[in-house]
Amino acid sequence: MPSPRSRPKDPPVSYNFKVTLAPGGLTSAAFLGASMLAGLPSDAAFTSIAGLGMEMDYDTVKGGGYNNTVYHLPKGVNRNKLTLKRGLASFTSPLMQWCLKTGSGYLFPMPMTLIVMLLDKNSNNPPVMIWTIYNAQPVKWQIDELDAKKSDIVFETIEVVYSNMDVLGTSF
């Protein structure tokens, strides 16, 4: 019978995460430990986050004189838009204020650093994975349709573009 120490841990769950705007001047999550990042205040509870990842662009070139050889030459990295969904937050939400001020022209588009943390089921454990999203800029803020015939929660969707991402992880 395997000991509790040698037993593999359960895979992480996708429902336990939080998002925060990084403190001013933060250029790399490497300067902060995972427990310190986990202690940053989160803006609000999001129901879903999509777009964490990257895709490599490449050119396909056939080998000269070899009909069965193909080379894939890297061109660069594409990053998806990050889509954040949540119940409509308070008007004082820093994330909402950033989106509204940017969209109204009141604030020149100010890139921010977002930190997305996938948390362990046990809140005493450090985050399972941390994505630091650099130079994030809101490109869309939208609320669901308001309809007097429905009794649904009003959801807001925030889309941001970003230039780079660091991923920190713990073993699980």
Q: What is the reported pTM?
A: 0.74
Lookup result for tokens 């969707």: 157
pLDDT digits (tens, 9 = 90+) for 3-42: 555 555 665 665 677 888 775 545 544 455 544 555 555 6
117: left (phi over 0), alpha (psi -120 to 50) or beta: beta
**Class of the domain covering 17-169:** mainly beta
**Is 15 exposed, middle or buried, given 0-12, 13-18 or 19+ CB atoms closer than 10 A?**
exposed
Domain ranges (residues) in the chain: 17-169
pLDDT tens-digit series, residues 63-108: 877 778 898 999 999 999 999 998 888 877 888 888 888 877 766 7
